[in-house]
Structure 1
Amino acid sequence: MSTPKNTAASRAYRQVDAKAARAEHEKEKRDALKKTAKLRELRLAKEAEDRAAEAANPKKPAKKPKKRGLPEFERER
């Protein structure tokens, strides 16, 4: 049976455990936000670098395909 002494000790243990779990969760959340910010910064830097490279070396326009109407022997008829 639970006595007031056991209940108080159990409650105190749960409070300490809850504080530790909350602190761990908040730390993991901060770490994830830092990692996300770092990855975003790297991605934006890479995209800016790619845009600069693209501006320096513009693509040549693609050749238009030749129109292929009828074969030559059919045109002669």
Structure 2
Amino acid sequence: MTDQTTATTPQPAYPLPQPDGTDPRITYGLLFDLAEVLQRNGFPRPAGTDWANLTAALGRFLYQSQETS
């Protein structure tokens, strides 16, 4: 019996389409959870403007850019 399955590379789930307006799922709680994960893995806790930068980086990862052609 031969194996007829083919290995396929999973397609990435991100980036998602840009939502209209603000995504209510991006909360302070989510950012604090991300900060805790970073800390547990040896990175310093965000401080000051790091929080805004973390929010922006998360948005760039999650959503397609709003560039117009």
**Structure 2 length-normalised TM:** 0.27
Q: Say which structure, 1 or 2, has more relative contact order (CA 8 Å, 6+ apart).
A: 2
**Structure 1 length-normalised TM:** 0.25
